């Protein structure tokens, strides 16, 4: 299975997310690969739940790992994260959420070809929709990832 490099731990993730994705998130810490490198959630943006914010941060991390930091021919598109499990961890005076996600993506070039094929073929005689989605599913990479969030400030 394709392995992706972890993101650098010595970056200001809030600033990187703001400049790369134009999102101003109330977070600090790191990329959440381990409990010690947790993404610290300082507060919740207005109108957003904790689960929505955690999903957004995990999706951003996946886009950085699977697309932005990759060579053009190795980039993935159609990246999605779906929560699979979560647990709350209490460590000294801190509270953490350990959240497991299934992250999927398709190589960008393949995704673009599938999209073009779908747009040009949908509704036309001879276009096998089932075969199209079967090939698309076979081309999809599935990863299981864990993201640690410190949520002490929310208590």
User: Which is more confident, 2 or 20?
Assistant: 20
Considering the domain boundaries, does residue 2 fall inside one? Answer: no
Please state the domain count of the chain. 1
Q: Residue 88: inside a domain, yes or no?
A: yes
Residue 93 lies in a domain: yes
Report if residue 92 sits inside a domain.
yes
Contact 100, 118 (CB under 8 A): no
The sign of the CA dihedral 101, 36, 41, 30 is negative
116 is a domain residue: no
pLDDT tens for each residue of 127-155: 999 999 999 999 999 999 999 999 999 98
**Residue 44 lies in domain:** 13-105+141-154
Which residues are registered as beta bridge partners of 99? 86, 147
Q: How far is CA 32 from CA 37, 81, 96, 129, in A?
A: 5, 15, 10, 39
- 3 lies in some domain: no
pLDDT tens per residue, range 85-105:
999 999 999 999 999 999 999
Overall pTM > 0.75:
yes
**pLDDT at res. 7:** 87
In a domain, 86, yes or no: yes
Confidence of residue 4 (pLDDT cuts 50, 70, 90): confident
């Amino acid at each position: 299975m394709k392995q992706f490099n972890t993101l650098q731990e010595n970056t200001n993730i809030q600033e990187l997310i703001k400049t790369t994705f134009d999102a101003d998130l109330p977070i600090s810490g790191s990329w959440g690969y381990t409990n010690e490198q947790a993404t610290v959630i300082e507060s919740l943006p207005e109108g957003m739940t904790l689960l929505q914010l955690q999903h957004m941060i995990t999706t951003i991390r996946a886009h950085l790992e699977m697309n932005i930091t990759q060579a053009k021919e190795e980039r993935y598109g159609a990246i999605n994260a779906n929560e699979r499990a979560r647990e709350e961890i209490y460590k000294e005076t801190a509270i953490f959420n350990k959240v497991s996600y299934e992250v999927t993506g398709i190589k960008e070039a393949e995704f673009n070809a599938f999209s073009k094929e779908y747009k040009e073929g949908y509704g036309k005689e001879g276009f096998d929709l089932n075969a199209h989605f079967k090939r698309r599913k076979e081309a999809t990479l599935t990863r299981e990832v864990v993201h640690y969030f410190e949520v002490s400030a929310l208590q």
